[in-house]
Structure 1
């Protein structure tokens, strides 16, 4: 069995945060729960612990499978935890909702073509 690792190091190594500093800020801000408690950054993470990570509109719940304090590639990092079924379903529902909103709104970043630009000019001039 591997030794337990600091929570901030594990969050960084498992690629939930880009830096340990960002992981520490999230922990201090109450965005991370470890087994239902609000931990400190120095709290030790062990296998079979459950983490609840709140990042923006995402709420991710994972079970720790493996601990490590070295940052690894994304495929290896995904092997360090397993997302719970409820969390996965919530995440997929949010993704589907965002995709539906995006298709409804069109593409606001698209520049108008030549015909549309001329029509806009006519509107602005009052023709």
Structure 2
């Protein structure tokens, strides 16, 4: 999977550089790189308007390659291999995690809180019609 990712990155890099170069070579409204290389000359290999069509189509193809490689990198980056289920398809048992035993002991009042009368009255059950003070 690493080799495929490296290959797609190289393709994306080359297509990005190709798009940059072809955009700079295209003839625009002002003086640009295309005019410096004589892309507007009528005696060229592609004719008067042939170079513009060739450069535009090549740019579109390289832009498509760039977008497809970007989508492929996104897919490869989000791909997570699932662990195999074993020879017979049985899943491995879950690991056993040991935990400390839970001991529930009755909570006794500390001597400091039992010494106060308010704490003793609050902890003692209300018997009969007595009103706690």
Higher strand share: 1
| TM-score band w.r.t. shorter chain | under 0.3
The TM-score, its normalising length taken from structure 1, stands at: 0.23
Structure having the higher helix fraction is: 2
When normalised by structure 2's length, the TM-score is 0.23
Higher gyration radius (CA): 2
